[in-house]
Structure 1
Amino acid sequence: MTTDTLPVLSLAAPTGNLAEDLGRSFQRFGFALVADHGLDPALVARGWELTATFFAQGEAAKRRWHVPGGGGQRGYTPFGTEIAKGAAVHDLKEFWHVGRELAPGDPLAATMPANVWPDAPADFRETFTALYAAFDRIGAGILSHIAVWLGLAHDWFDPAIADGNSILRLLHYPPIPGDTGGAIRAGAHEDINLITLLLGAEEAGLELLTREGRWIPASPPPGALVVNIGDMLQRLTNHVLPSTTHRVLNPDGARAAHSRYSMPFFLHLRSDFSIRTLTGCVSAQNPDRYPVPITADDYLHERLREIGLKV
């Protein structure tokens, strides 16, 4: 793969070796475009409707569901809170986080806050619980192909992500108010987690930075997912699979007056998983960058502090 064009890969009807095709795209770009993923279009449409309805509420109504000191892990995070690591200005976005629903007394509950559910709009909890489960299933399937590409058993990731601290984010980028002081909708950053599955990137603005230092658009066909490698998987694979820098630019012209919505699912390891470099990703040419392991929960909180969501 020598061009700067990301291929669109079908999960339902692959034209070749899907594990190899996904692996090559992730190794080259840190990203892949995935179609035929199996998300129910009616469920997705309801999710978009509820997302727009929630964010259309006034600031006071939305802030009822903000959890001070919660690190933005559940519920509402107000506009202008998050900042890319090393950036001077905050992102032009607000968001809502849905996490995993754990059974009472689950030993992982201490590392995963309970969900916050608004009293309006109706069906919010039911809709996003269902979408969370669907993303969880699709993400596990993609990880099984990554495992095969890495030379591991296809189910290697299953225990690593069982009851993982994954998050479904409902993202709203409001209309651009004019002079932003250099702020953009999402500053250049990498994701924290294993992989991210992003729905709603058909609206222009998402760009990724190639290894050659060029910014290129990540523009999937309607309804397809953008999938990218996160820092946890980069660390686990000793950078064999790169966590690629990406950003969301402000729109030009008439599009600046419109909101932009997207729905990323950040697929995480379980909190007590020890991130230890895979031996198959270490060689004389690629020595182990991370000889000291770290738990997924410790790594998460280290990164949350870096992006301004936790002190």
Structure 2
Amino acid sequence: MSAAIPTLDIRRFDTDRVNFVAELGAAYREWGFCGIRNHGIPQATIDAAYEAFKAFFSLPDDVKRAYNVPGSGGARGYTPFGIETAKDSRYPDLKEFWHVGREIPRDSKYAEVMPENLWPTEVAGFRDAAYGLYQALDQLGSRVLSALALHIDLPQDYFADKTNFGNSILRPIHYPPITAPDIPNVRAGAHEDINLITLLVGASAAGLEVLSRKGEWVPFTASEDTIVVNIGDMLQRLTNHVYPSTTHRVVNPPGEQARKPRYSTPFFLHPNPDFMIETLPQCISADNPNRYPTPISSHEYLLERLREIKLI
């Protein structure tokens, strides 16, 4: 494996499946990260969503705060600047964000833990643009999970009925311009993601860095047609660290670049709330004994982690 994080063409999942699955699995075992190009999400869908997100973040602070739901852990709606704090960090991240969740019937058994979405009436087309991107990334994530399942000798559709009502989140993020000198905060402190996999659309701006196995921070600035997909802690736990959840951060850019805002939109793909995260037998061996003998539901695990990062 070279010192560069790989980028792969996901069309090969249909045309060159065996080799694609092998290369994708190798990338994730080494890095926990991979770029996915030719993903099939129209640029117009991405652009429309970003225009809507930028329009929302440009609204007055009191308007945005009207969409904050105290006590909800930011599950839906708006989370103000300076709230989320990376685990073990002294300083909050330099960001504000919005959460879009899955639209489910309100008589669903998951309704209690998956609240209704909020939609800002001040931004025309926000709902259609945001949820259109949500659905597109959800479908792409399912394809990536299918390939990852094959790589560890699971059925291709293993994750299908375990994520079809997943408590997945689309998170438009605004990192405002940095104007104060020598600020101790960074845009996003070193952390690992909570979920199964994360799909980051709009990672073309510099700042994302991934911690290599050698302990070096490796910048990963993807080309505009590439979506960055990384492993989260739930999948790391499920696979007994066969797929590692890699530490990453968003650093403050140097000089004048710091005075420009940065926008990004990760999609956190979660399992269904009642899915039990129990180590896969395919991922247990004499060399890799079971690190997690006690199963935990994905919802309970999520709550544990949200407390750690000060969202609840």
Does the alignment reach a TM-score above 0.5? yes
**Cα-to-partner distance string for 1:84-106 (whole Å, 9 max, x where unaligned):** 00000000000000000001201
The answer to whether the 8 A contact 2:170-2:265 is kept is yes
Distance 1:155 1:249 in 2: 37
CA distance in 1 between counterparts of 2:78 and 2:39 reads 28
Give RMSD over aligned pairs. Answer: 1.1
1:4 corresponds to: 3
Question: Once the two structures are superposed, what CA deviation does each residue of 1:228-284 show, in whole Å capped at 9, x if it has no partner?
Answer: 000000000000100000000001111111100001000000000000000011111
Q: Among 65, 69, 84, which residue is 1:63 paired with? A: 65
Deviation of 1:181 (Å): 3.5
Q: Report the equivalent of 2:273.
A: 271
Cα distance per residue 1:175-197 (max 9 Å; x no partner): 01223531000000000000000
2:189 counterpart (184, 187, 190): 187
After TM superposition, which residue ranges in structure 1, 4 or more long, deviate above 2 angstroms?
A: 13-16
Instruction: Give CA deviations for 1:96-133 in whole Å, capped at 9, x if unaligned.
Output: 00000001201111111111111021011111111111
* Amino acid paired to 1:79: F
Q: Provide the C-alpha distance between the structure 2 equivalents of 1:62 and 1:81, rounded to a whole number of angstroms.
A: 14
Residues 87-102 of structure 1 mapped to structure 2, 5 A cutoff: 87-102=89-104
Q: Any gaps of 5 or more consecutive residues in structure 1?
A: none
Instruction: State the alpha-carbon separation in 2 of the partners of residues 220 and 41 from structure 1.
Output: 15
Aligned to 1:122: 124
Query: 8 Å contact 2:101–2:168 — kept in the other structure?
Result: yes
Deviations 1:284-309 (A, max 9, x none): 11110100000000000000000000
Per-residue deviation at 1:80?
0.5
TM-score by length of 1: 0.97
The aligned counterpart of 1:156 is 158
Report what 1:289 is aligned to: 291
TM-score, scaled relative to structure 2: 0.97
Q: Which of 290-299 and 5-14 deviates more?
A: 5-14
Q: Do structure 1's residue 145 and structure 2's residue 147 form an aligned pair?
A: yes
Residue 114 of structure 2 is aligned to residue 112 of structure 1: yes
> Partners of 1:8 and 1:84 in 2: how far apart?
27
Please tell me whether the aligned partners of residues 277 and 297 of structure 2 are also in contact (alpha carbons under 8 angstroms): yes
Percentage of identical aligned residues: 51
In structure 1, distance between residues paired with 2:259 and 2:183: 17
Shift of 1:13: 4.2
AA partner of residue 226 (structure 2) = A
Tell me what 2:47 maps to.
45
1:27 alignment partner in structure 2? 29
Match of 2:80 in 1: 78
| Paired AA for residue 119 in structure 1 | T
Distance 1:13 1:241 in 2: 21
| Cα pair 2:210 2:249 within 8 Å, conserved | yes
The secondary structure found in structure 2 opposite 1:299 is helix
